[in-house]
Structure 1
Amino acid sequence: MRRSVNLWEFLVILASIGEVQWVVGSCSSFEQTRVAVLRPHSVSITEFGAVGDGVTLNTKAFQNAIFYLHSFADKGGAQLFVPKGRWLTGSFDLISHLTLFLDEGAVILGSKDSGNWPVVDPLPSYGRGRELPGGRHRSLIYGSNLTDIVITGENGTIDGQGFIWWDWFRNHTLDYTRPHLVEMMHSKGVLISNLTFLNSPFWAIHPVYCSHVHVQNVTILAPPDSPNTDGIDPDSCTDVCIEDCYINTGDDLISIKSGWDEYGIMYAHPCSDITIRRVIGETQSSAAVALGSEMSGGIKKVHVEDLQIFNSKYGIRVKTSPGRGGFIEDVYITNLVLMNVEIAIGFSGQYGEHPDDGFDPTALPSIKRITVKGIIGENISRAGVLEGIEGDDFSDICLSNVTLNVTSELPWNCSYVQGYSDLISPEPCEPLREKIPDWSVCYKPGNKRVASRKTIQLVEDVVELLFI
């Protein structure tokens, strides 16, 4: 009898390992990026006439340096070194197999002249600029159709000097949508690490239509009242790992997106296989991690773990609207610590505007299989405000092991949602009070249940042979 108990425990442990393989290995394909990419060729920006006085415009120096380094792309790649100093520049392009390295004390400053940020076409999955019809200003650091790009350093800084852009936005004097600090499009193998990003005019880091993106050990800062200064926004990307970051901005710290209404539906490029872990931050106006609201191409297979969020409006938020279409599914959020957060969990089914009158109001999003597990919170105003869409319930929402010290007498407000819960304090709203009957109804990363059973069966077969 003693042997059978140990054997069963052994099988359970192995089964658990099999089920969480995707969790612990979700960034495994990025392990090689932990070591600095060594390029056989390196030049300094000073070799191209750049002056780090914070006044001289160095756009041509950056452009010329990168043009020169292009000849080394097929020879192991190259590095552009930015030494200590304040290097004022307008927008410039990167190339494949390039490392942009900022030394300690190096600051790349975005020009305050909008003319140094060229206007480019809108993204096809948005159909127009996110803020205004027509084009949009190109990001400070930009790349398209690239492979193997590294933006890193010894905690150097990229400062967008966004104050002037925020004033133009508030005064309604912009002609085009504001730029990002970094935008990579249609690219594969992107590493951004060991840098500080300050005062982005708009979203700070925006990979769009990319794959194998790793953002690690970055700090992103903007004032709490700065408009739309999201930290990291993976947009219609696959295989993204965001880890070990500190973000304190005026909007969502991380927002997962995939296109806007009819344009995102038509482009049909989901954002999938996204891992976010070990992030600390605050946002007084929005969420630590948001899904949407531009999610018309779909969002799936998202794993969020080990977040510490304080002084914020939302912990986790799902944002969508009739007309969005698309889907958000297979989301697993675990191990969150919240302090001084207004709403721990928020689902908004009537969020955001539309790009134009061409959207289909009957295009309803599908929101299902979202699991939130293992949250503790102190000084939380509301445990959850979960508002789905009439006739389009958000389904299979699973809450487990959530303990929140809530100050409101009405901790939950739920409508048009359906799901399950277990070990929740305060007691959840009526649509979520049914106990979780079986974890098969809830999404869990690595929950390829056939594969897990195969693992168990394989071990059982081996053990049976051993004990014959």
Structure 2
Amino acid sequence: MIKFLAFLSLLALPGLAVAQQSALPPVKTTSFRADTFSIAKYGAVADALTSNTGAFQKAIDECSQKGGGVVLVPRGQWLTGPIEMRSNVNLHVAAGALIQFSDNRADYKLHKTNWEGLDAVRNQALIYGKNLENVAITGQGILDGAGEAWWMVQKGRSTEGEWKQLVASGGFLNEKQDRWYPSAQSLKGTTVKEAGVLTEEKSEIKDFEEIKDYLRPDFLVLDQCKRLLFEGVTFQNSPAWTVHPMRSEDVIVRNINVLNGPYTPNTDALDLESCKNGIVEGCTFSAGDDAICIKSGRNEQGRKRAMPTENFIIRNCKVYRGHGGFVIGSEMSGGARNLYVSNITMIGTDIGLRFKTTRGRGGVVENIFIQDIDMKDIPGEAILFDMYYMIKDPTPQVAGSKERPVSPAKPVDESTPQFRKIQIRNVTCNGAKTGIMVRGLPEMAIKDISIENAVLQSEKGLVCIEADNISLKNVTLLPTSTDPVMEVHNSQNITLDNVKYAPGATVLLRVSGADKAKNVRLVNTDVSKAKQPLELGENVKKKAVVVSKR
């Protein structure tokens, strides 16, 4: 039965490397006994006043001890502190049920875990489990994380009235008086470099007590688990990352909602970190940070872990807010591969398809297949490959100059990240700063990227820097700034096939970077509609670019 379900899931993704998909291992599913353990029978009271932490935990523990089954959360508002899942338990949140997690930060204890790809100390997740098997959270109810008890708030992202009310409520302001923190500990954490990260100097939980409130908990963490199901429920107001399966396998995320405010810090919707084999489908995300995130550890620790996120089908989802709609990185040091993404709608995400990394990460991202993506009102890039995440543009153009300064290469070693073998097709974007941006490293080009059948309306068209074997086919670029429509710098083996653009473009294609410009081909394209079809940068040889008029 499992193999048949996996086969059906592949049929739902026509045109996406069928041979590779058929080689994906089947996703093993959860299965539970019919026995039901209602939290009400363990003393829980749905009055939004009584703490039901003990009742939740007793129901979960006894359910697991008796061979598993369903822990039922009936209709009503149930206040609780953090809870721990157990093997063979399906926590079922019924329609009309609201699990309200405590806003008392003292209810959450510090523990050793992993966050943002590094071994760290954090407040325990609201829902936590480790080394479990056959675990689910299902139903039509709501889980509220009381994130407002933990979040920093920026003055510039609040109305004047909201800011005055917040400051009057208590809390602490930073030195510039433009950020509000809920406690002194929360503010103090901003002064600590790599706050929460375990080191030789700070290796015990007690070493982090003075910044406890700064170390906000994730909503849900299931670590090193097998056979996980999250279905139907709504997670909202998370203190930090929301749904975070980590170092786990056989993960199904189906028809869930994640609702976090637009400026809530680090509230990623879904983080699949070093996970293997799974399906994400039918979900709706709105977050204060990235929405659908693929991660696998950070820097040396991530490379040593050597656990890529791999073998996932992600489909039929909507993203309304977020820093990125579908994102790989930046903590991708263990790699990512064999990901099949289709039918995703993004409205108002800062960036649409976002691949991000930087020197020091290492890791290989490859064999990524994406199709049927629709975007609207994207403030940044519709499609972004960036190896300079959180770093100033290494080759900014000087005002008035069309040339980019030289960016020196560094030695290639295990800490050099790689993006390669990525196919994207059938994309629309109605409004973005840049349609496509590819920015590799001088020592490691972004390689083997194919973008086919796209219509992108944006301020800038294509910006391609330090790339090798990039192909655009049947792509319509409609930038408001057409000097140029497409810029290719320090790149080789670039094929621009049947590119369409609005008549009257100032420059259709600019190629620069004399040392690396090679085999740039503009083919099957009507260049007559541009005032200047081709502009060559300083010392770029004519033979480096081939323009084949249609």
Which of the five TM-score ranges fits, normalised by the shorter chain?
Answer: 0.7 to 0.9
Q: 2:244 aligns with which of 206, 219, 232?
A: 206
Q: Contact between 1:124 and 1:263, CA under 8 Å: does it hold in 2?
A: no
Does residue 1:193 correspond to 2:236, yes or no? Answer: no
Distance in 2 separating the partners of 1:113 and 1:186? 28
Q: For 1:56-205, what aligned pairs fall within 5 Å after superposition?
A: 56-73=50-67, 77-123=68-114, 126-129=117-120, 135-153=121-139, 155-167=140-152, 171=181, 172-173=186-187, 175-176=211-212, 177-205=215-243
Q: 2:447 aligns with which of 374, 385, 395?
A: 395
Distance in 2 separating the partners of 1:281 and 1:428? 28
Q: Contact between 1:334 and 1:375, CA under 8 Å: does it hold in 2?
A: yes
Q: Contact between 1:39 and 1:99, CA under 8 Å: does it hold in 2?
A: no
The one-letter code sitting in structure 2 at the alignment partner of 1:387 is: R
1:18-52 CA-to-partner distances (Å, cap 9, x unmatched) read 9526558969636x66xxx5523111101111111
TM, length-normalised to structure 2: 0.69
Q: By how many angstroms is 1:382 displaced?
A: 1.4
Q: By how many angstroms is 1:428 displaced?
A: 4.9
- Give the match for residue 416 of structure 1: 466
SS in 1 for 2:150: helix
- Give the match for residue 304 of structure 1: 341
- Give the match for residue 132 of structure 1: none
1:329-374 CA-to-partner distances (Å, cap 9, x unmatched) read 1111110011111321112212149xxxxxx995111211111111
The one-letter code sitting in structure 1 at the alignment partner of 2:447 is: S
Give RMSD over aligned pairs: 2.5
1:287-342 CA-to-partner distances (Å, cap 9, x unmatched) read 10110000111111111100111112111001101000111111111100111113
Q: Contact between 1:125 and 1:263, CA under 8 Å: does it hold in 2?
A: no
Q: For 1:381-392, what aligned pairs fall within 5 Å after superposition?
A: 381-392=433-444
Q: 1:370 aligns with which of 404, 410, 422?
A: 422
- Give the match for residue 464 of structure 1: none
Distance in 1 separating the partners of 2:116 and 2:288? 25
Q: Contact between 1:229 and 1:252, CA under 8 Å: does it hold in 2?
A: yes
Q: Contact between 2:412 and 2:444, CA under 8 Å: does it hold in 1?
A: no
Q: Contact between 1:234 and 1:240, CA under 8 Å: does it hold in 2?
A: no
Does residue 1:277 correspond to 2:271, yes or no? Answer: no
- Give the match for residue 37 of structure 2: 43
Q: 1:314 aligns with which of 343, 351, 373?
A: 351
Q: Contact between 1:125 and 1:258, CA under 8 Å: does it hold in 2?
A: no
Q: Contact between 1:200 and 1:222, CA under 8 Å: does it hold in 2?
A: yes
Distance in 1 separating the partners of 2:273 and 2:16? 30
Does residue 1:255 correspond to 2:249, yes or no? Answer: no
- Give the match for residue 12 of structure 1: none
Relative contact order, CA 8 A, sep 6+: which one is greater?
Answer: 1
Give 5+ residue unaligned stretches, structure 1.
Answer: 1-15, 130-134, 354-359, 437-468
The one-letter code sitting in structure 2 at the alignment partner of 1:56 is: T
Greater mean alpha carbon deviation, residues 367-376 or residues 427-436: 427-436
Q: Contact between 1:126 and 1:263, CA under 8 Å: does it hold in 2?
A: yes
Distance in 1 separating the partners of 2:341 and 2:446? 19
TM, length-normalised to structure 1: 0.80
Does residue 1:29 correspond to 2:24, yes or no? Answer: no
The one-letter code sitting in structure 1 at the alignment partner of 2:475 is: I
Q: Contact between 1:124 and 1:267, CA under 8 Å: does it hold in 2?
A: no
- Give the match for residue 372 of structure 2: 335
Does residue 1:294 correspond to 2:331, yes or no? Answer: yes
Q: Contact between 2:17 and 2:369, CA under 8 Å: does it hold in 1?
A: no
More helix by share: 1
Greater mean alpha carbon deviation, residues 170-179 or residues 286-295: 170-179
Count of equivalent residues: 400
Q: Contact between 1:125 and 1:267, CA under 8 Å: does it hold in 2?
A: no
Q: By how many angstroms is 1:226 displaced?
A: 0.7
SS in 2 for 1:266: helix
Q: By how many angstroms is 1:198 displaced?
A: 0.5
SS in 2 for 1:115: helix
Q: By how many angstroms is 1:267 displaced?
A: 1.4
Residues 1:138 and 1:281: Cα distance change in structure 2 (over 3 Å): same
Residues 1:27 and 1:181: Cα distance change in structure 2 (over 3 Å): farther
The one-letter code sitting in structure 1 at the alignment partner of 2:141 is: G
Residues 1:48 and 1:114: Cα distance change in structure 2 (over 3 Å): same
1:268-294 CA-to-partner distances (Å, cap 9, x unmatched) read 11111122101111225x110110000
The one-letter code sitting in structure 1 at the alignment partner of 2:378 is: V
Give 5+ residue unaligned stretches, structure 2.
Answer: 1-13, 154-178, 190-210, 392-410, 478-484, 498-550
Greater mean alpha carbon deviation, residues 255-264 or residues 339-348: 339-348
The one-letter code sitting in structure 2 at the alignment partner of 1:373 is: R
Distance in 1 separating the partners of 2:430 and 2:58? 53
- Give the match for residue 425 of structure 1: 476
Q: By how many angstroms is 1:54 displaced?
A: 1.4
Q: 1:323 aligns with which of 349, 352, 360?
A: 360
Identity %: 29
Residues 1:240 and 1:49: Cα distance change in structure 2 (over 3 Å): same
Q: By how many angstroms is 1:115 displaced?
A: 2.2
